[in-house]
Chain A
Amino acid sequence: MPAKIGIDWLNACAGCEISIIDLGPRLLKVLELVEFVHLPALMDHKYYNQLGDGAHLTLPEADVGIITGSIRNEEHLEVAREMRKKCGAVIAMGTCATHGGIPALCNSFTTDEILSRYYSTETTDPIDAIPSDGLPALLDGCYAVDEKIDVDILLPGCPPHSDQIFETLVAFLEGRPAVLREKSVCDTCLTIREGKGKVGKLHRYLSAPDYGTTDDSTAKMRCLLEQGLLCMGPVTLAGCCGETGEPRCISARVPCRGCYGPVEKDGNQRLDMLNALVSNGIDISGLSETTSMLRFTGAHGMLRPAGSRR
C-alpha cells in the first residue's frame, strides 16, 4: 500500500510546492511510493465535498500531512487543526511554516496598519469598509504552525531544497529519522576565510564583491563577510545547497540572508549575528536597521508592533 499524503498551503507563496515539483525525475519515483489524497496545487480534492455542499471543512485521512505556509487567518487555523486530526504525522515544511517566513514581517505592524495601507495606496479608490463577505477573518498576526498545533517534523528552508524534501519523505516512509545537515551555512561554504579582525566596517550590498574572474569558482573568492558585507551564513542553518553543492546565494556571489532560519530551532538570528559581529570587532554602525535580520523568523513573538506586548 502506498503511503497516503495530504499537503496544503496556508499563508504561503507556492515556492515549497514548486520545490517539490523540482524533484524533477525523482518526482516520478515518489509518485510510485505515495498516494496524494489532498494537494490543492496539483489535484482537485475539495474541503466541502466534491459537489460543494458540505457543511464543514473536511480533509481525508492520511499517514502524513504536510503544511506549507504560516497561519494568518481563521481558515488557515481550521485547515491546520483538521490536518492534525486526520494525519498520523504532521510536517511543517518551509520557513513560513517553521518560523513565520517573510510574511511574518507583518508582525512588526498591527493588522489595522497592514490593511489600511493596502486599501489606501496611490491607485486604490477610497473604501468604506474592509472586505469581509465570505472571507476568513485575519488573526492578530502571522504564526508558525507549531504555535497553533503539534508538529512532528520541522523542515525549514525558503524553499527547502528538493534534496531535503526527498530525504524527509523517504526517511518517513522507511520509518527512520531524516539525515539532514545540522551545522551553519558557513560549514557548507567554499569561500576563503582568512580570520578575524580585518573587516572593519560593514557596508551595504550596492557594489560587486571581489570574486575574481568570470571563470573563478567561489573557492577562489574571499568570504563575503570578510569583504565587509553582511552575510547571515554564520547564524543560519545549512541545507540550502541540498546534499551536495555550496550555499545557493553565495554561488551567485550574493551574501546569505538567512532563509533556513537559525541553526538551533529556537535561536535568534538577529541576536546571534549582532553578537558575532561585535565580538569580532566589526563596526555595525553601517547597518541601517536590524529587523531585516529576522526577516525569516518573525513568528514566535520575535517581531512585534512598536510599543506592543502582543
Chain B
Amino acid sequence: MTARTITISPVTRIEGHATIAIELDDDGNVADSKVHFQSIRGFEKFVEGKPAEEIPRIVTRICGICPWHHHLASNKAVDRCFGVTPTPAGHKLRELIQTIAHAEDKLLHFFFLAAADFVIGPDADYAVRNVIGIAKANPELAKQVVTMRYKAKMILENFAGKSIHPVAGVPGGFARPMSEKDRQWILADMREIQDFALFAIDFAKKEVFPKYLDTIKMLGVINTGFIGTVDDNGALNLYDGRIRLMKPDGSYTDFDPQDYTDYIGEKTVDWSYGKFPYAKAWGEGFSLDLDEPKGIYRANTLARINAADKMATPRAQAELEEFRELFGRPAQATLLYHYARLIEEVYACEHAIEMLEDPEITSPDVRAEAEPGAGRGVGCVEAPRGTLIHDYTTDENGLIKTANLIVGTTHNLGPINMSVNQAARALIQNGNVDEGLLNKVEMSVRAYDP
C-alpha cells in the first residue's frame, strides 16, 4: 500500500523533462519509485516525406545541447541512403567539429549542471546550489569556466556558422573549407581549452572526488553492461567505428552500426513516454530488478571508457590507467560518470589538436556531390549522452520513407530508473525526508547527464 508519494518535479539541472515519483509505505520506507520521462515529439513520423538532405537540419532540434551529434549522425545516414562517400577533408572537418562540440559539452555539464552538488554541497539551500551560487562563492573559477566554454562555443559559431542547430555538415561532407587563418586561431584556442581541461581533471581529483568517495561508492550504484564506439585498435572513438556491447562481467561483442537492430531492442513501460533500449542480443529479456537486471546496459562517458580498451591520446590514456587502477574495468559506480567525463574532456582536446595539425584539414575539397535516390542508411556517432543511431530509408526521389532513431540518453532510461530506485531505498528510511536527501536522489540521475 502506498501511504504517500513524493513528487520531485521537475528533475532539475538535466536537459530533458522528467519527474521522479517515490512511493512510501505506512512505515515511511520506499515501496517503489518511478522516473517518468515526459517528452514525446515524434520526429520519427514527421520527417516522413521530406527531402533526406533536409533532415540533418531538422533533427538538430531533438536536442539543443547536443545538436551537432544529431546533425552528423543524420548526415552519415543520408550519405548512405544516397550512396555518397564524403571527401577525406569533409570527413575530417565533421569529426573535428564534433570533437570540439564534445569538449564544450563536457565543460557545460560538469561545471554548469553537476558541480554545484560537489562544490557548494548536496545539502546546501537550493537557491545557491547552482552555477550562480558557484559564481558568487568562487568568482575566479566561474570566470574561467564561463570564458573557456564560451571559447569552445565560439569556435563552432565563427567557423561553422551556427553552433546551436548547426548546418555546416552536408551530405557528401562539409559546407565550407577551413582556411589557414582559421586553423591557426582555432588551434590556439584549443590549446588554451586543453590547459583548462587538464586543470579541471586535477581540480576534480584533488578537491572534489576525494571528499565524496563514500557517496561515489554508494549513491545510485547498480550492476549493468555498457555500450560505446571503438576504432580498429579498440580505442575509444567519438565519431566513427564499431559499436561495442559489453556485458556486466566485462565480456563483449563488437558490431557494425548497420546491424544495430540485431543487438538492440526497445521496451515500452507504462510510466514513461520515452522507450527503454535493452540488449536484445543477450537473449535474457528485459528487467529493471536491482538484484537481477536483465538486458540492461548503460551509455555515455563511463560506458565508453569501460567499453574501450584504451584512449588514443597520451594524456587521456594516462588518466584512464590511473582511473582503472582505482576502480577496475568495468567500473559500475554511477557517480564515476563525472570522472569519466573529465577524462573524455582531455581526450577531446588532445584529439582536436591532433586533427588541427593534420595538413589535410585545410584542403578545399570538402564536399562530394550527392544524387538523391532510394536506399537505407544507418548513421551513428557517440553523442555526449551515448551511442546515437539514426536509421533512414528513402524512396527513388530521395524523400524519407521511414526513420528510426535511438537517442543517446534513452539507453540510460532503464538504468536511471534503477539508480533512482537504489538511491531512494538507501536514503529514505522511516519517513525521514529532507531536501538534501531528495537532491542526492537527483544526483543519481544527474550523473547520467540525461
Interface residues of A (CB under 8 A from B): 9, 11-19, 21-22, 24-25, 27-28, 31, 36, 40-48, 50-54, 57, 72-73, 75, 101-103, 105-106, 108-109, 113-115, 117-119, 121-125, 127, 129, 131-136, 138, 158-159, 204-208, 211, 213-215, 240, 248-254, 257, 259, 288-289, 291-292, 295
Contact = CB atoms under 8 A, between A and B. Distances in A.
Contacts of A204: 51, 53, 372, 398
Given A113-B45, A121-B404, A254-B170, A44 B9 contact: no
B38 A45 contact: no
Interface residues of B, number: 109
A41 B13 contact: yes
A57 B153 CA distance: 35
B387 to A, nearest CB: 13
A36 B161 contact: no
B40 A138 contact: yes
Interface string B157-178: 1001111110110111001111
Nearest to A132: B270
A27 B38 contact: no
Interface in B1-58: 4, 6-10, 12-13, 15, 17, 19, 21-22, 34, 36, 38-42, 44-47, 49-51, 53-54, 57-58
Interface of B: 4, 6-10, 12-13, 15, 17, 19, 21-22, 34, 36, 38-42, 44-47, 49-51, 53-54, 57-58, 61-65, 67, 82, 108, 112-113, 126-127, 129-132, 135, 142-143, 146-147, 149-150, 153-154, 157, 160-165, 167-168, 170-172, 175-179, 181, 260-261, 264-273, 275, 277, 362, 364, 366-367, 369-372, 391, 397-399, 402, 404, 406, 433-435, 438-439, 442
Given A25-B146, A48-B7, 10 more contacts: A15-B67, A22-B150, A75-B38, A122-B391, A123-B260, A124-B265, A211-B176, A249-B162, A249-B167, A254-B161
Given A31-B132, A204-B372, A117 B44 contact: yes
Given A41-B13, A254-B170, A123 B143 contact: no
A102 B71 CA distance: 14
Contacts of A108: 46
B41 A103 contact: yes
A159 B51 contact: no
28 contacts: A13-B64, A14-B15, A19-B164, A24-B147, A24-B149, A25-B146, A25-B150, A42-B113, A46-B10, A52-B438, A57-B9, A105-B47, A105-B58, A113-B45, A118-B40, A118-B45, A123-B260, A123-B404, A131-B271, A159-B165, A206-B372, A248-B162, A249-B167, A250-B161, A252-B161, A252-B162, A254-B167, A291-B50
A257 B162 CA distance: 13
B50 A123 contact: no
A16 B64 contact: yes
B26 to A, nearest CB: 16
Contacts of B46: 105-106, 108-109, 114
A119 B309 CA distance: 36
Nearest to B84: A206
Contact of A135 (B82, B164, B273, B438): B273
Which of B167, B172, B179 has the largest count of A CB atoms less than 10 A from its CB?
B167
B15 A28 contact: no
A250 B168 CA distance: 10
A120 to B, nearest CB: 10
Given A51-B433, A159-B64, A125 B266 contact: yes
A5 to B, nearest CB: 11
Contacts of A28: 135, 142-143, 146
Nearest to B177: A214
A125 B267 contact: yes
Contacts of B267: 125
B64 A18 contact: yes
A229 B37 CA distance: 40
A216 to B, nearest CB: 9
Nearest to A296: B61
B264 A251 contact: no
